[in-house]
Amino acid sequence: MTKADIVNDISKNTGIEKVLVQRTVESFMESVKGSLIGGENVYLRGFGSFIIKKRAEKTARNISKNTTIIIPEHFIPAFKPAKAFVTKVKTKK
């Protein structure tokens, strides 16, 4: 499902114009991105959490050049689904 599909589905189900729905979806995504960039997690009860995960420094190998490189400690965005959401996905038929 793409962002356009989500906008169409919400518009069809609510009767709100697609342009307004698209602006709302875009605004939601910008809010989530802004919060994560600012170091703040986003919790949506019953759906899941957008969180920031810390990756420790590690040593990696460049096989083609046969060299070792160090990947520094860094942060990545992640999504952790709510238990109720996971249960519904697992039991779908």
Closest CA to 28 of 47, 53, 52, 55: 47
pLDDT at 92 over 80: no
- Per-residue pLDDT for 6 more than 70? yes
Residue the block writes with tokens 């996905």: 89
Please tell me the total number of residues recorded for the chain in this structure.
Answer: 93
Does the pLDDT value for residue 23 go beyond 90? yes
24-83: per-residue pLDDT in tens? Answer: 999 999 999 999 999 999 999 999 999 999 999 999 998 899 999 999 999 999 999 999
pTM: 0.79
Q: Measured between alpha carbons, how far is 89 from 46 in angstroms, rounded to an integer?
A: 13
> Domain coordinates of the chain in residue numbers?
1-40, 50-93
The pLDDT of residue 74 is 96
